[in-house]
Amino acid sequence: MRPDQHARTMLPIPDRTPPGPTTYDARDPDTAFRPIEPLLPPEGAPNVVVILLDDVGFGASSTFGGPCRTPTVERLAGGGLRFNRFHTTALCAPTRQALLTGRNHHSVGMGSITETATSAPGNSSLRPNTKAPLALTLRLNGYSTAQFGKCHEVPVWQSSPMGPFDAWPSGGGGFETFYGFIGGENNQWDPALYDGTTPVEPPATAEEGYHLTEDLVDHASAWVRQQKALMPDKPFFVYLAPGATHAPHHVPAEWIERYRGQFDDGWDAQRERTFRRQKELGVIPVDAELPARHDEIPAWDDMPDDLKPVLARQMEVYAAFLEHTDHHVGRFVDTLEDLGVLEDTLVFYIVGDNGASAEGTVNGAFNEMANFNGMAALETPEFMRSKLDDFGSPDSYNHYAVGWAWAMNSPLQWTKQVASHWGGTRNGTVVHWPRRITDGGGLRSQFSHVVDVAPTVLEAAGIPEPTMVNGVLQSPVEGTSMLYAFDDAEAPERHDLQYFEMFGNRGIYHRGWSAVTKHRTPWDMVGGDLVAFDDDTWELYDGAADFSQARDLAAEHPEMLAGLQRLWLIEAARYGVLPLDDRTAERLVPEIAGRPTLIHGDSQLFFPGMGRLSENSVVSVKNKSFSVTAEVEVPAAGAGGVLIAQGGRFGGWSVHATGGRLTFTYNVLGIHRYDVVADEPVPAGTHQLRAELAYDGGGLGKGGDVTLFHDGAAVGHGRVEATQPLVFSADETTDVGRESGTCVSDAYDARTSRFTGRIAWVQLDVGKDDHDHYISPAERLRVAMAQQ
């Protein structure tokens, strides 16, 4: 093996001019220079693939005893290793940032998701430049790098089309190629996609057979084929992170049919069934116990009989979604095999970025945004039954019930967001690397954590941890390489201390023991009584004899518990966990959270062609009066299409022209829709159109009166009985002159939403009650520009 000639601890690797004399004439026989060689990693560095699924519990996949068929995970496990004590952070963005940096999530500013970032360093959503991401380290060492799928690490005030792009995958994230979406979730049938930092539309519609997971795998497979065709000697790093199986649970109907009737006996029975299967497969110890169901989680027998068919359907859809995802991941693995590179590719298949999600309420949800707005009561059992056959379809934005999440985490306690207990943080993981792993089908039970992936990859590639990146001194990686466990199932574990925290739920692992305390319940997102942190009850578990945290030993070993509590506090101070913050919905409001906002003041000016603007890129109209004013030029054929639209089919508002008439539509969660239509068409020519909503006040989510104007003259009146108080959508955006994604109103669709005339500008004003109905176009534009 040729010795490596590069000093790789300083990145980029400094260019060095070879010493020695030169010549005057290139024809001189003494003229000699080394051939220019492309930068490559050390000899023997493998290709690296990290596959990260979303919201999959330890007991969901068939590989780890669950009911959802995952043949690709099983295939890789058969030739690789199963890790049954691999842990995440209990929430998606924190897990992803920890994975991509090798640092604990608070160390890289991701104490929770980006949407609830605060000004506290551990919760700011800002990755310090002293903690360079793995992809950047690999790229600067000669790897080709590409990410496909979900990126939930961009601070919300940096998610507009203007960036800055420091936190985007292909900006400062180290990936040369990115195709996917920015944010926590996306509509699988009609996603908001980016190619690099450029917004792009899906290549087909749901009616034409489009699905996001399939599209991501198509792009990943095409990229790796091209990479190996053009750079066969250069290894690659591919990060494949589908939005599946995060809600909404979207999957073709024929996949759902494969599971029809399989969950009719409910989540209690399924949990017991999974528990037995896990012991048969050996993925949990034979002496493991199944902890009792917590009081907050209803028993299947206590659920209304007329709701049970809906509940069973929710799980059928989820199981189909997971199998569908695994199938298409398998297509990517097939690509690696077809190219002859699978043998020398280190594959991490992490089955979930946290435990199964209990954010769908005890009844589940047809539109999960209802719960995020504190409006879950709108989805009555009658409403849910009426939507039975629509779950999983493009008409849904669905999630399953809390009981299913609990069952999918078998045999562990609790769910996603609950970082205290293993149900929130333990995820089945498979590692496949034929060139190095000789114990195909083996089981590894050493404690490991998502921060361990980066140092494992670096050790496997023979690349040192960098001390300097782009002139910035780097802090040490905080994970521990797992490579030692590849060779020896009995090797003593090296990652023997790890803290956990999420929204006040907290725990610590140390040398087999865990001390934990659950502080809040994940599906109580709005309201709810919380005890003081010091009043939380701590539990103690001996992991050497109790795989599932079933036997609380706090009363028997108070000294041990006290020592671990103190150790948790030390680690919390060390990694930026403090101050503890158990707020959820309140942190959605930037002014309360203390994070920056892109837009300041109570007025915002838009121009035609602007689009793909997230909610954090638009002045908030929630719980207040607001108006929309636009100067337009209407053709003789009449006005038609969208002036401005925010949100989509599952919640939002739109000002548009339908049948030539100015229309205001407010869509509450796709359940109630209010249309206010002008009494007369918009005349041809240049006009100023305006829609005003006068908010009732007196609380959140109230209604208001709507008035429409042509050139300052009222032409229509109507009423909106309710509004959305907290969030319109997790993935839909604001567009001017058209609407992308799904549409707020059934009066148009995305293909016919473009405004037929010319829009000079659109202005959004909030919180104003003076109703200056008409200002000349020139003066309006001058004032609006001055306000920016």
pLDDT in tens, 221-263: 999 999 999 999 999 999 999 999 999 999 999 999 999 999 9
- The overall average pLDDT reported for the chain is 95
Summarize pLDDT for 475-520 with one digit per residue, the tens.
Answer: 999 999 999 999 999 999 999 999 999 999 999 999 999 999 999 9
Q: Strand (E) positions, 5-143?
A: 10-11, 47-52, 81-83, 86-87
Q: For the residues of 217-249, what is the DSSP string, one character each?
A: HHHHHHHHHHHHHH-TTS-EEEEEE--TTSSS-
What's the pLDDT at 771? 42
Pairing of the two strands 651-658 and 641-648: antiparallel
pLDDT > 60? residue 56: yes
Average pLDDT of the residues in 16-38:
87
Higher pLDDT, 625 or 777: 625
Q: Look-up: residue for tokens 């209802």?
A: 370
Estimate to the nearest angstrom the gap between the alpha carbon of 198 and the chain centroid: 19
What's residue 4's pLDDT? 66
Q: Work out the percent of the chain whose per-residue pLDDT is above 70.
A: 96
pLDDT at 2: 57
Cβ-proximal residues to 600 (8 Å cutoff; 6+ apart), any chain = none
Computed over its alpha carbons, how large is the radius of gyration of the chain? 28
What are the tokens at 425? Answer: 């943080």
- 563-586 pLDDT tens trace: 999 999 999 999 999 999 999 888
Report the percent of the chain where pLDDT is more than 90. Answer: 91
User: 3-class SS at 696?
Assistant: coil
Give the model's pLDDT for residue 342.
98
Paired tokens of 728: 């319109």
Of 216-220, 537-541, 591-595, give the lowest mean pLDDT range.
591-595
Judge contact between 569 and 588, C-beta under 8 A: no
Q: Is the pLDDT of residue 295 over 90?
A: yes
CB distance 515 to 568 below 8 Å = yes
Per-residue pLDDT, 773? 43
Q: Helix, strand, coil: what percent of the chain each, to 5?
A: 25, 20, 55
pLDDT digits (tens, 9 = 90+) for 656-694: 999 999 999 999 999 999 999 999 999 999 999 999 999
Give the model confidence (pLDDT) of 363-410 as tens digits. 999 999 999 999 999 999 999 999 999 999 999 999 999 999 999 999
Q: What's residue 5's pLDDT?
A: 60
Assign 699 a pLDDT band (cuts: 50, 70, 90).
Answer: very high
d(CA 51, CA 429): 10
Where does the pLDDT of residue 769 fall: very low under 50, low under 70, confident under 90, or very high at 90 and above?
very low
DSSP 333-398: HHHHHHTT-GGGEEEEEES-SSSPP-TT-TT-BSBTHHHHTT-GGGS-HHHHHHTGGGTTSTT-B-
Which of 18-27, 90-99, 318-327 is predicted with the least confidence, judged by mean pLDDT?
A: 18-27
| pLDDT of 34 higher than 90 | no
Quick check: 537 pLDDT over 50? yes
pLDDT band, very low/low/confident/very high, at 7 (cuts 50, 70, 90): confident
